[in-house]
Amino acid sequence: MAKNLLIVESPAKVKTIKKFLGKDFEIKASMGHVKDLPGSKLGVDVENNFTPTYIVIPQKKKVLSELKKSAEKAEKVFLAPDPDREGEAIAWHVAEEIRKPKMEIWRATFNEITKKAVLNAINNPMPLDEKKFNAQQARRILDRLVGYKISPLLWRKVKIGLSAGRVQSVALKIVCEREKEIREFKTKEYWTIEVLLEKDGKSFWTKVIKFKGNKLEINTKDDTEKIAKEIKNGKFIVENVQTRERRKNPSAPFITSLLQQDASGRLRFSPKKTMLLAQKLYEGVDIGEEGSVALITYMRTDSYRVSHEAINSVRQYIDKKYGTQYLPQSPNTYKARSSAQEAHEAIRPVSMDYPPEKVKEYLDKDGFALYELIWNRFVASQMQPALYDQTSIDISAGNYLLRATGSVLKFQGFLAVYSELEEKESETKEDEKAVSFPQMKKTDELSFRDIKNEQHFTQPPPRYTEAMLVKELEEKGIGRPSTYAAIVSTIQERKYAEKQNGRLAPTTLGFAVNQLLIENFPDLINVEFTAGMEEGLDNVEDGKIDWLSLLNNFYTPFKTDLENATANMRSLKAEGVPTNIKCEKCGGTMVIRWGKNGEFLACSKFPDCKNTMNFTTDENGNIVPEKDKSTDMKCDKCGKPMVLKSGRFGKFLACSGYPECKNIKSITSGVKCPECGGDLLQRKGKRGMSFYGCSKYPDCKFTIKSMPIPEKCPVCGYPFLIKAGKSQKNICPKKDCTYGKD
């Protein structure tokens, strides 16, 4: 019988760790958190030192029962959830539930799931870290206070079901501020002039940059043509030729934020997807005869630190695979932020014995792509810099100065493994363009060959991608490695922001909520204030301040703001958000309101005028009303034309005589139900997803997710086909039919 019990978070880790420990160990998983604040009430006694009331999560009662039984039989219990604050809270709560008199309970932490790391943690256990637990507890209480105190206000003033979050609200503010910059941006015209020159039969382009020693700015076409004429008729004399060696150093190994950014830019993964894939690589992958093997170190980290063993191992790999010339004399080091948790390491491969090509067959496409990215970044981080011969040539043309720049890569260095993202996916900088110039010296005269003028317009700052927002949050000290992905996901799940062409744009709801929070809780969504709170939580973990002091310092001003907001917050339910659209029925102003089925336009003169309409927003944030589309169908009740409308469950036909005639009909797909012969109608589910269901519901409950097409399957004769996949090609819905599925 096992003498010891080791408890981890995930069952995937159990499989990986089992082979490291002998029969003396039983390994169990807590399946994440086992206790939390209750969902039905605040669960924090603010009048009694913010005492929290934790309850066992209902779904975890069975798990805890099994853990208790195993713990009662064990001589020692080792708690080994993830080595961060959330993991410490899990360990603390498990200990509270399983502890018996004289039971020996220890904390075991490891940043990588290898035999050496696991055995080292078991042989050098520690007591539970109360400071780290209190840091997590303080964060949880802060978030609960904000969510449970502000959300009901938003329900009363805007719409039922809204939420406010301590950190998500700041992220929303950042997105809204960027959108405001974009909308207020004034585009300006400017021009550039490039000249093609030649020497010894070899030509190259130069750019006009100065006039009489001052930077040249050209704003109109007329000015451009005038300058071009003056330059064209002048002499071109070499004023200076400068060639120097430029070094491009490799980037540090990944930390969480950089991994999310690079995976987004290169692989088009969302931060959430990146973390899910990384979790699997960390916990272990079955690689055939060797069983479950962990491939990367812990993926929630802000530290660039790498163990001596890992550095020695990667240096040996570089020397063997690429050659001594690619290996620096001493290891490359990288400086982390002052707030980085140096107990962790950077994200790196656990072992150099598992290069990507060796494990490719055991990983799915996305898992392999992420592992290869982590591997290449780590290897490159310990390689020599890339070396360029960079040349800059200044050429006079009367009062104008022209410049040509370019570089030649003469030693790949780390670029043999990992090209920088900006080189791969954005325009190359002028001085990094690979240009080979003819031999030139000062006073040489060059020949004119061509000139081109190009019109440009200044561009507003771009909207944030998910990865760009993560970078912004990190730079401003908002959130931590374990929360970035959740923050970005939450503002989209709450419908405060949405993706447009892959970038985040605030919705009208997001703008409205953000403005109310700015007006009523200026400190809460102040970037510096929130960053200060994150630093305060770090200080609690480091034992520099008491967690109750942190909560008191936050709650005293927050309580005042809350009382003022309760009394004075504007009601958007009553006012709506004004637009520049006029009511077609009475001429009043249309305002945006929110109902149980989403946002809509309503006349501000309600209840005297009850006109409403749906709307969309274009890429510039302008409101575009969705007017009802007339049809040639007549209402079978009153004879008036039927119009096409959009509603909660999709598009439908309604009588134009509303409200006198309330006749409504669903739109048929033209396909009959294969079970009862009814019509298949387009509908929308509770989560907004479209589907097709039988018109004879609830007597017939046949549904299908994809759009049915009134064409018989040419292979099996099934009565209709469906449109499926990104290509929306026609396939047979019958499972055992292959038509269209190859």
Which residue, among 178, 133, 131, 44, has the nearest Cα to 527 in the 3D structure? Answer: 178
SS3 21: coil
8 Å CB contact between 277 and 367 = yes
Residue 154, beta-bridge partner list: none
- How far is CA 579 from each of CA 181, 603, 605, rounded to the nearest angstrom? 19, 10, 14
User: Cα(first)–Cα(last) distance of the chain, in Å?
Assistant: 53
SS3 240: strand
Phi, psi of 578 (to 5 degrees): -60, 145
Tell me the residue type at 448.
Answer: F
Rounded-to-integer distance, Cα 660 and Cα 182, Å? 45
Residue 248: CB atoms within 10 A of its CB come to: 17
**Identified catalytic residue from 54, 298, 304, 371:** 298
- Using CB atoms within 10 Å of the CB of residue 34, give its burial: 0 to 12 exposed, 13 to 18 middle, 19+ buried: buried
Label the pairing between strands 721-724 and 729-731: antiparallel
362 among known catalytic residues: no
Estimate to the nearest angstrom the gap between the alpha carbon of 220 and the chain centroid.
41
8 Å CB contact between 226 and 218 = no
Rounded-to-integer distance, Cα 526 and Cα 466, Å? 21
In the block, tokens 């200076």 appear at 240
Phi, psi of 292 (to 5 degrees): -80, 125
Which residue, among 276, 225, 721, 726, has the nearest Cα to 489 in the 3D structure? Answer: 276
Rounded-to-integer distance, Cα 349 and Cα 311, Å? 11
8 Å CB contact between 36 and 54 = yes
Which residue, among 435, 335, 334, 357, has the nearest Cα to 389 in the 3D structure? Answer: 435
In the block, tokens 């490695």 appear at 481
Rounded-to-integer distance, Cα 285 and Cα 422, Å? 32
In the block, tokens 């329900």 appear at 155
- Using CB atoms within 10 Å of the CB of residue 727, give its burial: 0 to 12 exposed, 13 to 18 middle, 19+ buried: exposed
- How far is CA 417 from each of CA 85, 380, 386, 411, 413, rounded to the nearest angstrom? 35, 6, 11, 13, 8
Which structure tokens are listed for 245? 């060696």
CB within 8 Å of 230: residues ≥ 6 apart: 398, 399, 400
Tell me the residue type at 419.
Answer: S
Residues with active-site annotation: 298
